[in-house]
Structure 1
Amino acid sequence: MAEKRTGRRALKNQVLEILSQNSPDQVLAQILQVPLKKAVNPLIGLLCHQDEKIRWRAVTALGRVVPAMAESRMEDAREIMRRFMWHMNEESGGIGWGVPEAMAEVMANHPGLAREFAKILVSYVDEDQCFLEHDVFRRGAVWGVGRIARIHPKLVQDAGPALAALLDCPDAPNQGLAAWAVGNMGYAPAADKLRAMTDDKTMTPLFLDGELTQASVGDLARQALEKLEAAAS
């Protein structure tokens, strides 16, 4: 038993060392060299790491590892997705920090898993379904819907009204991320609310294309409007 614990600890340290590399491309290349099933547990554990860079790299890595598992055996990947869902459940005994983001990153990289599980993620932002009451926790689900919308917008169209409602949320990151998400999915009924937000200079974090950035709520609203207008024309 002690030998197993030592092995798990060594593997977690190995994965953490990989995620700490300077180059994101190098991180992904190296993480895929670790046996896929063995990489999952350390990566899920690192979703709660105190370093935000490590957390997001764990999200990104899971978004490559789980789809790679699906290519070998789809049921193994489904099991990981069901495990994510369990972590989101109060019965799990904890809060699934980073889990909605990881679910979304997996689905963004695997259309089959997206078709099966996108509605679950949508339910986390919908007040009539499995709505996440905690503002900070909900940000991950809103980002996740927006992430999928960039790749598979039709699979998350049902989230449009719920995201439009979050444009009125007093939590600025929820507002900004909701604006980004409705722009990605082309949800035109949100346009009037977006116009009312364009002067909001409150800053909010946004993880985009492998980098954690900062953007104002107003900028995200303007960018969303531009996408809506481009789609309409």
Structure 2
Amino acid sequence: MKTPRETTRTLKAGLRQVLQSDDWDDRLLEWSYSQSRRLINPLLSFLLSPDETLKWRSVSAVGLVMSVTASTDMEAARVIMRRLIWSLNDESGGIGWGSPEAMGEIMACHRGLAEEYHRILVSYIRRDGNLLENELLERGVLWGIGRLAQVRAGLIGYAPPHVALYLESHDPLHRGLAAWSLGFLDASPFRHQLERLLDQGVEIRVYENRSIRSFSIGELAARAIRNRG
């Protein structure tokens, strides 16, 4: 008989195999309805993976599993959200890699959780909020805001001024992800800032519609102007 640790290792290995398959989302959906709560811990551990594909598929998987969990036990879902929030707290002793992305995906997948937690996610890039002051984590927040805006732009209509500050960042990923996010929000007040990025050919990789794609910063700025500017 397997020990709990051996069972966990088996589950994690099987989940990794699913996420690396071509039909991972269909297979995970079937699995999540029968054992969503058991899946969340290994999925959160995969957010730390140096494997880009595994990390981003895990972000999507966390959103799917959390949506299933919240549909039957909202308090259990809140516990996981609070865990992600705690991981971004200085007192946690950790760094919270992948947590902002997971939060954005979860809220894109479940409206109830979005209504409760959207302000916390945006606060991580607000100068008057809970600014993380960590460039790598702020990239994750910008992605998370953009992902949420893809589905629920009306819920975070207050976010563009805070996102737009990153259009001036020295970090190309900040500039590109800010432009990407503004493409799903009202970018009209920031048109001139976006126009200044149109000739920037630096490419960044963005996870969009469950695929990792390369865009130049200029392309993302043009798209924001075209879509919402």
**Match of 1:132, SS?**
coil
Is 2:105 the counterpart of 1:105? yes
Q: Which runs of 5+ in 1 are unaligned?
A: none
CA distance in 2, matches of 1:45, 1:192: 41
Q: How does 1:15-26 map to 2 (within 5 A)?
A: 15-26=15-26
Structure 1 residue aligned with 2:150 = 150
CA contact 1:31–1:61 (8 Å) conserved in 2: no
Structure 2 residue aligned with 1:123 = 123
1:222, distance to aligned residue in structure 2 (A): 0.2
Q: How does 1:6-45 map to 2 (within 5 A)?
A: 6-32=6-32, 35-45=35-45
CA contact 2:29–2:64 (8 Å) conserved in 1: no
Q: How does 1:59-78 map to 2 (within 5 A)?
A: 59-78=59-78
CA distance in 2, matches of 1:27, 1:19: 9
Is 2:82 the counterpart of 1:90? no
CA distance in 2, matches of 1:101, 1:28: 19
Structure 2 residue aligned with 1:200 = 200
1:215, distance to aligned residue in structure 2 (A): 0.4
Q: Which runs of 5+ in 2 are unaligned?
A: none
Structure 1 residue aligned with 2:138 = 138
Structure 1 residue aligned with 2:209 = 209
**Match of 1:167, SS?**
helix
- Per mean C-alpha deviation after superposition, the further-off stretch among 2-11 and 106-115 is 2-11
**Match of 1:45, SS?**
helix
CA distance in 1, matches of 2:47, 2:188: 34
CA distance in 1, matches of 2:24, 2:215: 21
1:129, distance to aligned residue in structure 2 (A): 1.0
- Per mean C-alpha deviation after superposition, the further-off stretch among 32-41 and 77-86 is 32-41
Question: What is the aligned-residue RMSD (CA, Å)?
Answer: 1.4
Is 2:219 the counterpart of 1:219? yes
CA distance in 2, matches of 1:48, 1:5: 20
* Count of paired positions: 228
- Per mean C-alpha deviation after superposition, the further-off stretch among 11-20 and 167-176 is 11-20
CA contact 1:100–1:141 (8 Å) conserved in 2: yes
Identical-residue share of aligned pairs (%) = 37
CA distance in 1, matches of 2:54, 2:138: 20
Q: Which amino acid aligns with 1:149?
A: A
Q: Which amino acid aligns with 2:214?
A: Q
- Per mean C-alpha deviation after superposition, the further-off stretch among 14-23 and 39-48 is 14-23
Is 2:171 the counterpart of 1:171? yes
TM-score, normalised by the number of residues in structure 1: 0.93
- Per mean C-alpha deviation after superposition, the further-off stretch among 20-29 and 101-110 is 20-29
CA distance in 2, matches of 1:67, 1:83: 16
1:33, distance to aligned residue in structure 2 (A): 5.2
TM-score, normalised by the number of residues in structure 2: 0.95
CA distance in 2, matches of 1:118, 1:187: 19
